[in-house]
A = this chain, B = another copy of it.
């Protein structure tokens, strides 16, 4: 896996990951039982009467899938620490057997004011399903390493 350092980042560049993530019903239920056991995440029959009309993945699960994309596939950014996330939107339900793809667009980078070995990077992240409907979007703010000398 290649690593994208601060110097490698071109602001404006969009990068669609070549890997995808299929969300299985069993995983939706297992994840939500542990972290967010609302009925529309854990009970397929009861979920039919929810606003979603069926079982959907919980927010923490979708957030975790975004993290998974960050560390899998052909390359990853040299993140030293996640600082925060802005404008995080659950745009469309994630349902059993959805296959998610991930795109990342580098929005802004700046040098650290105090540490010469790193910078701050803002990245727009988006997850879409197999119908090309965006299901999740957020801006990731992270500390990113410069290329080791």
Contact = CB atoms under 8 A, between A and B. Distances in A.
Given A88-B84, A90-B81, A143-B51, A68 B38 contact: no
A130 interface: no
A84 B87 contact: yes
Say how many copies of this protein the assembly contains.
2
A51 B80 contact: yes
Q: How large is the interface on A (under 10, 10 to 19, 20 to 34, 35 or more residues)?
A: 20 to 34
Contacts of A81: 51-52, 90
A79 B38 CA distance: 9
B88 A86 contact: yes
A62 B101 CA distance: 23
Nearest to A80: B51
